[in-house]
Every structure is written in structure tokens, then in C-alpha cells.
Chains A and B, each alone.
Chain A
């Protein structure tokens, strides 16, 4: 694990909110030389801290009006059933994220749908038919914000 200084954190804060910024722009904003900035970005990438890019889209404009978070409990547990469930659930296009968790539920899923009837279709035909599926709890997303976290 590498140690970060204030300049590294400033670079991360900039790139996290806008990945389209080139090193030239980041360097100018921070009052640094471009080669020095580039070296730091490379170092953050090589250390695995700065990961891939994520494209931000207006989901509503593209016809996806509903996002639902599902808590899923498996009815049967065992190595085979976990693998079967994970393989099947990741193949569903409407399922954006799958997280294995510890607690009240076994998995946390993020699902997009066009509207509530479309979500019901996904839930009935795709989710409730998954191998090993047990109890399911759905919460419809109203608002969401991402914060810079402990980079600040």
C-alpha cells in the first residue's frame, strides 16, 4: 500500500468527479507541471487505487425510470447453490450490481427497469425463478448521491 500526500488526494478528487479531464487540465488546476501530474496519475493507477472509468448517463432520458435495490436471502445454502445463484443472477441484463453481504440478507442487487410493471416482470420472471432464491425485499430508489469519501 502506498502513502498518499495532499497532492495525490487532490488529483483523486478531481478525477473521481470528472474522468474526462486530461492530465494537462488537472496540472493547470493544481498549479503543477504536466509531467509531474502524469507521473502521479500513473503511480495511482499502478497501485490499483485509480480504477476504471464509469460512464454517467441520464437513466430517465434513456427510458429507465425505476431503480430498485433488492435484499435477497437464499433458501438453501452450500457451495454449489451459491455458485449457481451467482452465475444465474449476473446473467440478467437488468441486474446492474450483485454484492455478497453478511447480515440479514445474503446478496444485495441493484436493478434497473423501465417502469414499475417492467420491474414486476423482471422480479417474477427472472429473480423469483433464480436457483436457491428465498426471501426477497425490495426498496425503490428515490434519490442517490455519491460523496468523495475520506479523500477530503
Chain B
């Protein structure tokens, strides 16, 4: 699908205020409400606009600790990635999995209630994951920016 400047303006407004009505988005993007509705429908149909998700505040649920684990795998085994991903999906405290091209192969975002819980998760679940050769941990201190908006 050809993305027009109008589409970009609409998506920019939508990312900035996902709760707004189509009429309000249209006004800020400088188009009529019917054009806005039609373009957004088209973007959805063509799977450019994939949907919305609600953000969960894990700290409010009692998960005060978030750790980013940077993992290097033993790549001599061709099944290393698949087996690692399959096993990591089965750990309830893992909320994000990313694979990379670079110095690290994989990153897991891990939640815990406190440091004692983290130690338990790390020892019993993370270290039990297959094909790990190295793990580095970055502990989350604060989120400075988190809009995941695209610079359209």
C-alpha cells in the first residue's frame, strides 16, 4: 500500500493521543472526519495499523524489579536459538524476548517482586535455560522515555 502524507499525519496524531476520537484526530491532522475514517480503515485493512495494546504497569502489580538479561548462546548447536526461545517462553517472569545481530544473541526482560524473588527466578529458571554460554545483567533503574512512537 502507498502511504501518503495524510496517512503519516494521521498516524502521528494517533500515536500522540490513542484515546482521541476520529473527529479530533482529523481536526489536528487538518483533514475532514470522513477522510480520516476512510484512511485509518484502509491502513487497518492493509495491516499497516495493527491494533492497540494496553500498557501494564508492573510496579503497580508488585513487580518492583526489572532486569534485562543479555545472553550469548553456544552457536555450535544449530538448534540453540529455537530451543532457547521455546524454553524462555515457558518462564512466566519473562515479558520480552528479542534476538539480535551483534555482540549478544538474545535479550530477556525479566520481572521479579523483589531481589530475593529475582535471585530465585535467576537460579531456578534462567540458569536452567539451554545453550547459554554467557549472561550479563542490566538492572532497570528508571524509564526516561518510552513512547515507542515512529518519527513519521
| Interface hits, B41-82 → A, CB 8 Å | 46-58, 60-63, 68
Interfacial chain B residues near A101, Cβ < 8 Å: 68, 138-141
> Is there a chain A Cβ closer than 8 Å to B21's Cβ?
no
B97 touches A (CB below 8 Å): yes
> Contacts of B92 on A, CB cut-off 8 Å?
149-150, 152
Chain A residues near B140 (CB-CB < 8 A):
99-101
> Which residue of B has the minimal Cβ distance to A50?
B54
Given contacts A90-B145, A93-B151, A142-B101, contact A55 B57 (CB under 8 A): no
Residue from the list B46, B57, B97 in contact with A51, Cβ < 8 A: B57
Known: A144-B96, A147-B95, A150-B93. A105 touches B138 (CB 8 A): yes
Tell me whether A79 is interfacial, beta carbon within 8 Å.
Answer: no
Q: Which listed residue (B14, B48, B54, B149) contacts A15, Cβ 8 A?
A: B54
A52 to B56, CA, bound (A): 8
With A63-B3, A140-B100, A140-B101 as given contacts, are A149 and B58 in contact (CB-CB < 8 Å)? yes
A97 lies within 8 A of B146 (CB) = yes
Choose from A57, A105, A141 the contact partner of B11 (Cβ within 8 Å).
Answer: A57
A122 to B12, CA, bound (A): 20
Interface size class of B (residues with CB under 8 A): 35 or more
Min CB distance B102 to A, Å, is 3
The answer to whether A49 touches B57, judged by C-beta atoms less than 8 angstroms apart, is yes
Q: Is A17 engaged at the interface, CB distance under 8 Å to the other chain?
A: yes
Beyond A57-B150, A103-B139, A149-B95, is A19–B53 a contact (Cβ under 8 Å)?
Answer: yes
Q: Which residues of B contact A90 (CB under 8 A)?
A: 144-145
Q: Say yes or no: A48 contacts B57, CB within 8 Å.
A: yes
Q: 27 A-B contacts, Cβ less than 8 Å apart?
A: A4-B61, A15-B54, A16-B54, A18-B52, A50-B57, A51-B56, A52-B54, A53-B19, A54-B54, A55-B49, A57-B11, A57-B15, A59-B150, A61-B46, A61-B48, A62-B48, A90-B145, A93-B151, A97-B146, A104-B138, A110-B148, A137-B103, A139-B101, A145-B97, A145-B98, A149-B56, A149-B111
Q: Hey, which bits of chain A sit against chain B, CB under 8 A? A: 1, 4, 12, 15-20, 47-59, 61-64, 69, 71, 86, 89-90, 93-105, 107-108, 110, 112, 137-152
B residues within 8 Å of A by Cβ? 1, 3, 8, 11, 14-15, 18-19, 46-58, 60-63, 68, 89, 92-104, 107, 111, 136-152
